[in-house]
Amino acid sequence: MIRRIFPLLLAVALQAQAATNPPLAALQIEIWPEYDRPEALVILKAELGPGARLPAEVALRIPASSRGPSAVAYADASGKLLNLPYQHEDAGNFILLRIRPPQRAFHVEFYDRMATDKPQREYRYSWPGDMAVDRLSLLVKEPAAASDLTVQPSLDISGQSPDGLNHRAAQLGAFKAGQQLPVAIRYTKSDARPSTEIVGAAAAAAAPGAQRDAPAPTWPLALVAGGGVVLLGAIAALVWRRRRVTPSGHFCPKCGGATKAGDRFCANCGAALG
């Protein structure tokens, strides 16, 4: 009996916690399966509503299968991403993150487990609805050497990211607090290498005599987690450092480029912004 009651009590407590979160003006969920490791990289790019008091108190759940975030940060006035301290605690099938963003834009990244031992690949993620969102968008990056990719919900915008990989995206509108967004991604892929390896090998083969770029820095990224310092690996650090955001925290669903509040069209690709 206790085993049955505890999950219900935990779910009620988490829903009550979600109700205390400030609303989001915008949230872009990006999922990059098998990007630089045989897992799914999930990126949450969020912007607090204009009425949020700063620093804001935010409690956000990520899947327990992720084993915790790989990076948590906020964007300063110039759009530069800075490390954001966080606390975490077990919450059944989730890990509950507690953060206090000093600015409106903040990011959370985590790697989630997925099976890659068979050509038919599948990954599922569900936004748990921890915050109300005025404008929620979803972007899924197609792995290199993958075929027959399908996504639910259906994504009606196709584009290409700066790294050369194709992606699909959609503006999904407003979501209430507690309203979930389940995402199911399926595709076929026989190559066991992640996208960064496949694309890098193809580029090297295409220009065997070309001078290689200077290697990227490989020092680890330090994050404060639960009062202690966590040193992330070089891959996670590089994933985090390659992105910047505008103070508004808006992104184009077609090309992934940063946009400003009030823009009707993307300055990079010309796509209409919902």
Write down the pLDDT at residue 88: 95
Torsion angle of alpha carbons 12, 99, 61, 245, nearest 10°?
140
Give the burial class of 225: count Cβ atoms within 10 A of its Cβ; 0-12 exposed, 13-18 middle, 19 or more buried.
middle
The reported pLDDT for the residue numbered 203 is 73
234 neighbors 221 (Cβ within 8 angstroms)? no
pLDDT at 79: 85
pLDDT tens digits along 38-58? 999 999 999 999 989 999 999
Domains of the chain: 17-193+220-259 (2.60.40)
Residues of the chain with pLDDT under 70: 1-19, 207-274
